[in-house]
Amino acid sequence: MLKDAAAPTSGAGDAAGIRKIKPPIDRDAARAVIRRLLAEAVPGRFICVPKQWCAATARQGWRIVTVEDARFVGVACDEADIVVTPVMLRFGTCRSSALLLSGQSLRRSGAVEIYGLDSRKMEKAVGRAEMRVVFAQEQLQRPWAKHRTYDWRTGLFDA
């Protein structure tokens, strides 16, 4: 587990609506912890660090990390094949090409189904199945899906 001491606030605390500012993380230490968790995890079962993340290796060989603390999303993207977080992020994809499912993307797409392709069709993937991703809401042009594009912060609908 990585140490996580919140920086002191101005004294008003959370009662006044002021969030505690969390210090930056040690990315190298975080990367080492995620690698260790993925190596130690029994296939098909998650191993967790409370209030930070959980990691597992799927039967298909995919490395899956769920992230609770947004500071760990970048490291998770670098180490996993699938990253899931309820956090509303300012970016929509991982630079490593890992599949990123965030609060914002799930709001737009709805449920997501991920499954491995037949091993006979595996060309790119070495040692793990290629994944097929199906979103419940493929298009948002339907009147009953428009609410998924509403951003309550700006009061506008996303394009």
Residue pLDDT, tens place only, 115-127: 887 655 544 544 5
Close Cβ partners of 44 (under 8 Å, ≥ 6 residues apart): 56, 57, 58, 59
Tell which phi-psi region holds residue 57, choosing left (phi > 0), alpha (psi between -120 and 50) or beta.
Answer: beta
pTM of the full predicted structure? 0.69
Residue 90, classified by CB atoms within 10 Å of its CB into exposed (0-12), middle (13-18) or buried (19+), is exposed
> Cα separation of 98 and 80, whole Å?
6
> Cα separation of 80 and 67, whole Å?
11
Find which of 3-7, 22-26, 124-128 is predicted with most confidence, using mean pLDDT: 22-26
pLDDT at 111 over 60: yes
Q: DSSP H helical segments within 56-100, as ranges?
A: 73-79
CB 116 within 8 A of CB 131: yes
pLDDT at 15 over 70: no
Averaged over 32-40, what is the pLDDT?
Answer: 90
Closest CA to 38 of 49, 50, 46, 30: 46
pLDDT at 142 over 80: no
Q: Classify residue 81 by its DSSP letter.
A: S
Distances (CA, A) of 75 to 8, 10, 25, 59, 151: 25, 30, 10, 22, 27
Output 7 or 50, whichever has higher pLDDT.
50
Q: Give the phi and the psi of residue 156 in degrees, each rounded to 5.
A: -120, 165
- The amino acid occupying position 42 is V
pLDDT digits (tens, 9 = 90+) for 41-91: 888 899 998 888 899 998 888 999 999 998 999 999 999 999 999 988 888
Close Cβ partners of 115 (under 8 Å, ≥ 6 residues apart): 131, 132
Place of tokens 């509403």: 150
